[in-house]
Amino acid sequence: MLADTWYLFNKYVKISMRMPLWSLFSLIQPLLWLFIFGALFNNFATLPGFPADTYIDYFVPGVLIMTVLFGSSWAGVSLLREISAGTVDKMLVSPASRTAIVLSRVLHSAVQAVIQAFIVLVAAWLMGANTNFNPVYIFMAMFVILLLGIAFAALSNGLAIKLQREEPLVIMGNLMTLPLMFFSSAMVPEQFMPNWIHAIGSFNPIEYATSAVRAALSTTPDFHAFSIGFGVTLLFAVGTLYWAISAFKSIQD
């Protein structure tokens, strides 16, 4: 299974490498957010009780999460294309592990999301954001981002198999990402949220991933908050992956 995953993962990496422009293109959106939101909400930081010196300091973990969300939530579209092109059938008639077929796809889009998040982080550093750039903490944050990427790529792949069509998949992708993001502290500190949004947020996996990344990248890292966020994100990733794999195995019936 691991060997199959590796070979298939390699295939997707090769395909991505052959269209580097496209991969760069998907970076534009998070970079724009970093720039626009940073300027737009700059005065937020002057409000009493704001947990950071500037808005951009606060927003960096949030924009990293957004990069993952918008990068991984469309992973299922290419699965549908592969199914209609016949390449999925080709894999399925071979003895290749079915788990490996899903895992390689999910890992590929998660790794892509991590690379993009890393580039966004470098951009934030260039813009003078005051976050923790210690490699150990960056690694910790990136690990959470990888898990969140896996979770959303798995969700999208599983939905692709269940929905069978691109249009509803795109609608579901939108429905998943935007509200979940606003129900988290990615953009607005929880002190500033209405209570009911905050209450919903405590069931939101993105909220946990955000707090974990924020805890790691904070100038004063909070291990307790990190381990809670990390644990929940890990559970979320494992759960969605399992669901996607079983959905994929059901194709054959």
Sites of contact with another protein (CB under 8 A): 3-4, 7-8, 11, 14-15, 18-19, 84-87, 89-96, 252-253
Nearest CA among 237, 26, 230 for reference residue 148: 237
Nearest CA among 239, 202, 233 for reference residue 216: 233
Q: Between 13 and 138, whose beta carbon lies closer to another protein?
A: 13
- Alpha-carbon span 123 to 24, nearest angstrom: 14
Q: Between 96 and 181, whose beta carbon lies closer to another protein?
A: 96
- Closest separation in Å from C-beta 9 to another protein: 11
Backbone angles phi, psi at 106, to 5 degrees: -65, -45
- Closest separation in Å from C-beta 73 to another protein: 22
Q: Between 75 and 121, whose beta carbon lies closer to another protein?
A: 75
What is the number of residues in the chain? 253
- Alpha-carbon span 124 to 177, nearest angstrom: 22
Q: Between 101 and 232, whose beta carbon lies closer to another protein?
A: 101
Which DSSP category does 18 fall into?
A: T
Please give the structure tokens belonging to residue 177: 């990402």
Q: Between 97 and 218, whose beta carbon lies closer to another protein?
A: 97
Q: Compute how many other C-beta atoms are within 10 angstroms of the C-beta atom of residue 14.
A: 9
